[in-house]
Homo-oligomer: A and B are copies of this chain.
Amino acid sequence: MAKKSFPLSKVYSLLEPGPVVLITTAGTERANIMTQSWHTMIEFEPPLVGCVISNRNHSFDILKATGECVINIPTVELAEKVVSCGNTSGLDIDKFHDFDLTPVAASCVKVPLIDECYANLECKVVDAKMVDEYNLFILEVLKAWIDPAMKHPRTMHHLGKGAFMVAGETIQLPSKMK
């Protein structure tokens, strides 16, 4: 997928609507992928993102050790792979290989982007002091990529137990909000 660099000042517009994301990390043996929905913007620029990653997940250990990850945003075309990544552990399998996802080198971190996702946010951990209590990592987005051809991405939004709301129509209102 041909991507272009995306302004850091607009990263909030990708995460604010609450999409399911695929978080990639790079362990010593292989890269891993985790399906995740518990994230929020914390600051506009530089973009800070709060991400809750349970210490029961393999990605928790890798992220704690390496301090780097990529937040990849999938659309509904990838729904089966998104769920497969959520149903399995990187301790047991190579998710890139088994689910036929394409790793692409990032520019600022030693973690692969997922090529099939329409947007990718390269991140480093900038604050880990809420990790022990809440599994909450504060990430700074260092570099963002987007597929410029994707005008209305049909993102997935988890409703629980494998049910997902798919992004519908877009409306525009006269807002002073950023």
Q: A87, B40: Cβ atoms under 8 Å?
A: no
Query: Contact flags (1/0) for A108-136 with B, using CB distance below 8 Å?
Result: 00000000000000000000001000111
Say yes or no: A167 contacts B170, CB within 8 Å: no
Residue with the highest number of chain B CB atoms closer than 10 Å, among A35, A48, A134: A134
Q: Which A129-170 residues have C-beta < 8 A from chain B?
A: 130, 134-136, 138, 154-170
A52 at interface, CB cutoff 8 A: yes
From A8-16, A62-70, A93-101, give the one contacting chain B. Answer: A8-16
What is the CA–CA distance of A56 and B110 in the complex, to the nearest angstrom?
A: 37
A42 close to B (CB within 8 Å): yes
So how many copies of this chain end up in the complex?
Answer: 2
B160 adjacent to A167 (CB under 8 Å): no
List of B residues within 8 angstroms of A13 by Cβ: 159-160
A85 to chain B, nearest CB (A): 10
Interface residue? A171 (CB, 8 A):
yes
A161 and B177 within 8 A (CB): yes
Q: Is the CB of B157 within 8 A of A166?
A: no
* B173:A83 contact, CB within 8 angstroms: yes
Residues of chain A at the chain B interface (Cβ within 8 Å)? 10, 12-13, 16-19, 35, 37-43, 48, 50, 52, 76, 79-80, 83, 86-87, 130, 134-136, 138, 154-178
